[in-house]
Amino acid sequence: MQRISPNVYVETGWPPTYSCNPGFLTTPEGIILIDTPGRPSDAVRWGEEILRRGEIRYILYTEFHEDHTAGNAYLPGVSIGHQETKKGLDGYIANVQVMRQKLGWMFPEDRGLLGKFQHRTLDIIFSDRMSVYLGQQQCDLINLPGHTLGQTAVYLPVEKVVFLGDNFTKGVQPSLSYCFPEEWVESLRTILSLDVERVVPGHGKVGDKKDVERFAVFLQECIAEVQRAIDRGMTREEAAQRISFENRLSPIHPGAEQQRKNVLRLYEMLSQ
């Protein structure tokens, strides 16, 4: 666990293939979590550690993918996120039996905890912006579409910290298979306008604005490569067979099939 500002802590030590970088903000009136671990046993240990520091009052989500949200089954607190994040939780994550099977396959040592796994939806949703206040701290939730439509920046202005989920990954390639590329580029510009010193990625070590700028270059290069394929008259399948972004950044989810999905998604969105 890393302390990145007077009142903000982040865990970046778990493998990016199954867990995001969850964090929390401490206040005299309780704790605000930002995302949760993806592995059940990590979520339990994370919760025990945090509860020694105070009551968990809120859980704020940057996105709906299970590496950011599956741990909520083991953690208390009012859950808050974007309306599209709720749709994702209530669709993709809501099939409890399927999720138990998936988690059991990924983490066989945690099977004793899977009986307690339940679907938790959001208690409070927002559409554009929302602020949460606790113990003189302000948390601004800002919808910044990109990695997903409901992608949310959790901006802590007093701490000069922002959590971005997979809208920013440091040193690794996120999945692009749900993305909105043009909106993503614009969202990164918005992030760079914030008054922050520390930027928490969905995966990878904590960074700063220069790291976000480097990530923006990566994303724009991927978009440009697919756009050139479209301009040359390549079909979707031809582009997916010929293009890979693994030479630009090592992927969180390696393999040709994920690269294919990434290219197909960019091709689909850029062709509209």
Full residue range of the structural domain in which residue 35 is found? 2-270
- Average pLDDT (1-11) is 96
Q: Is the pLDDT of residue 260 over 80?
A: yes
pLDDT value, residue 91: 84
Using DSSP's 3-state secondary structure scheme, residue 155 falls into: strand
Which stretch of DSSP H or E encloses residue 184?
helix 181-192
pLDDT value, residue 179: 96
Q: Is the pLDDT of residue 92 over 80?
A: no
Using DSSP's 3-state secondary structure scheme, residue 253 falls into: coil
What is the rounded distance in angstroms from the CA atom of residue 129 to the CA atom of residue 188? 16
Do 50 and 33 contact (CB within 8 A), yes or no?
yes
Neighbours of 52 (CB within 10 A): 7
Amino acid identity of residue 253, one-letter, is H
- Average pLDDT (206-235) is 97
Which stretch of DSSP H or E encloses residue 240?
helix 236-242
Domain count, the chain: 1
What phi, psi does 46 have (nearest 5°)?
A: -60, -45
Higher pLDDT, 15 or 46: 46
| Residue 115 pLDDT grade (very low, low, confident, very high; cuts 50, 70, 90) | confident
Q: Provide the terminal-to-terminal Cα distance of the chain, rounded to the nearest Å.
A: 43
Do 22 and 71 contact (CB within 8 A), yes or no?
yes
**Tens of pLDDT, residues 128-137:** 999 999 999 9
- Which CA distances in Å does 195 have to 25, 155, 158, 191, 217? 18, 9, 10, 9, 21
Half-sphere exposure of 59 (CA within 13 A, CB side): 26
pTM for the model? 0.95
User: Closest by alpha carbon to 132, among 10, 26, 62, 32?
Assistant: 32
Higher pLDDT, 93 or 129: 129
What is the rounded distance in angstroms from the CA atom of residue 120 to the CA atom of residue 229? 42
Residue 40's CATH number: 3.60.15.10
Amino acid identity of residue 10, one-letter, is V
- Average pLDDT (53-79) is 94
Using DSSP's 3-state secondary structure scheme, residue 58 falls into: strand
